[in-house]
Amino acid sequence: MPRLITHLCLVAAIGLAACGGSQSTNTTPDTPTQPSGPMLREQTSLPIGVALGVGSFEPASSIRYSPQASQLRHLAASEFSSVVAENVMKPEYIHPQEQQYHWNDGDYLVQFAQQNNMHIHGHTLVWHNALPSWMSNYSGNWESMLADHITTIVSHYSDSINSWDVVNEAFLDDGSLRSSIWSSHIPDYLAKAYTLARAADPDADLYYNDYNIEAMPKKLDAVLQMVTDFRTRNIPIDGIGFQMHIDRYWPSTAEIRQAFSRCVAMGLKVRISELDIRMNPNNTATALTPELAEAQRQRYREVITTYLSTVPAELRGGITVWGLTDALSWTPWYYKIPDWPLLFDASFQRKPAWTGMSEALQATP
């Protein structure tokens, strides 16, 4: 089945409301025992992160505006040592008008993270999606506009954000360059974006972020060819973000290991940047049964173990899950079928998936 991953649920308020309101498709049966143990952030020095909603347009998931904001903040700060904005640092929201930047929500996330001793990862400076209308219809000097966009944002956060997804999803699954406003108007836009980001913050780690690269070699070929070209021209890039929107069957751990190994062989840092694991890809379940929950525990454990055993400590950029609870996941809305892809259920309780991640973290020095 096609596995083209986008973030439509993340960029539409109605989608986020649907994710949060679809309790009938996100319920989790009572389990015999609640997984116990120290918080994830206490189990490792590796950044263990979570994507958080912040904006008022994220009515169910916002740690600032939702009715359950305090619960969301408490869970995030307790369990995780790293955060990334699910939406509010994407171009559409942070740069809504050519001469206007909206810092308020991003600054709120930064303050929350700093108060709780959390790493902050920036997502994302350049993407073909989530664009403000003025940018999509721009008619001025495109290179100057890109320079202002990247320089202003990275400079604003240079004292607080020390890693960025500079470019997100620039390649198609067959390895060809995706057509976008950037590729259409700015020759060599990829290299220019990374050069601008490095100039704005010489100390930040700069990542390229994409989906399916853990399982589609042609796509990863294109990404690594870009890195090789960058190095030939002294264009800065530090690491690769593997989104890892995967399911219980796909891809195999062998495929994941091979993809990580290729980046490690080039000395690139590796992040698992948007992890979630769908358990109902064929729409054969209506609830997360104990059997499915156990399969998810094993899958999370295998994926995290593969990462930790393949990527040496000095090249580990961290592991981030894409959302706090099953009820807030983008996947049921996008695929229009029930699913339970995250570590916590709709009641903020740890799932066996949490145990799987914990087991992997505690088994690795």
Sequence-ordered alpha helix ranges (H) in 127-252: 133-136, 142-156, 181-185, 189-200, 217-232
Catalytic (active site) residue 169: yes
Name 100's bridge partners.
97
DSSP secondary structure letter of residue 104: H
Across 211-234, b (16+ Cβ under 10 Å) vs e yields bbbbbbeebbebbbebbeebeeee
What is the DSSP track for 248-303?
A: SSSS-HHHHHHHHHHHHHTT-EEEEEEEEEES-TTS--SS--HHHHHHHHHHHHHH
Active site residue 274: yes
The catalytically annotated residue of 86, 169, 214, 359 is: 169
Answer yes or no: are the C-beta atoms of 284 and 266 closer than 8 Å: no
Token pair listed for 194 = 């990374």
Q: How far is CA 104 from the centre of its chain?
A: 21
Pairing, β 205-210 against β 239-242:
parallel
CA pair distance 223, 241, nearest whole angstrom: 11
* Catalytic, out of 58, 79, 274, 359: 274
Q: Tell me the C-alpha distance between 276 and 365, whole Å.
A: 24
Catalytic site residues?
Answer: 169, 274
